Amino acid sequence: MKRLPAFLACLILFPGLLLTDVQARPAPESAMARDEKTGLYLLAGDYRRALESCEQAIQEHPSAEAYLRLTYVYQAIDGYLEQLSKDESWMAVEQLYLNLAYRHTEDLVDPPGGLARMAKEMIQTSVRQQSDISAAMAVRLNKPVSDRLWLEQTQWRQARPTSWWQAFPDAWLR
């Protein structure tokens, strides 16, 4: 009972004390907003941020859909690399490598190096392995949803054979 008056006195003297913690936390981002943001990253070719966005979604709300979106981004990187190598756009391969390698401003003074063709092989090997892992996790979580999303992305890829990696399938954004 003696603590109640002291508590009330603190509230009167420091009225914002209890609200500070609540106001400091940003509202969680909706799944739709995150998918739209990730879609913009794909369109821009900013695959590092697309991966980070998908990983954040898994961290906040693991689901088959979240793992398949991550899988899709890995496969988008692979598809983009395949197209670049067919077009012999090795400068773009090197730019992709740098996009995936750079994370902070200190990378500007100590840049990662690599030849474009070697970078292509390293990136593709890694994204294919990670794609297989995240796809398997999605199936374990919800096989019927995984099967539906695979069908939707297969149709999307067939309709856009040279650009599918620039966006999520339209059906995923509804």
Residue 91 within any structural domain of the chain = yes
Residue 160 within any structural domain of the chain = yes
Number of domains, the chain? 1
Residue 70 within any structural domain of the chain = yes
> How many other C-beta atoms can be found within 10 angstroms of the C-beta atom of residue 112?
12
Angle of helix 17-24 relative to helix 3-13, nearest 10 degrees, comes to: 60
Give the C-alpha separation, 119 to 65, whole Å: 29
Q: What is the DSSP letter of 25?
A: S
**Those residues with Cβ within 8 angstroms of residue 149's Cβ, 6 or more apart along the chain or in another chain:** 64, 65, 68, 138, 172
Residue 17 within any structural domain of the chain = no
Give the C-alpha separation, 67 to 143, whole Å: 12
pTM: 0.71
Residue 142 within any structural domain of the chain = yes
**Which pLDDT belongs to residue 108?**
55
139: containing domain = 32-169
**Percentage of the residues of the chain whose pLDDT score is greater than 90:** 56
3-45 pLDDT, tens per residue? 545 544 444 444 444 444 444 555 566 767 888 999 999 999 9
Burial 81-93 (b: 16+ CB within 10 A, else e): bebbbeeeeeebb
**Which pLDDT belongs to residue 44?**
92
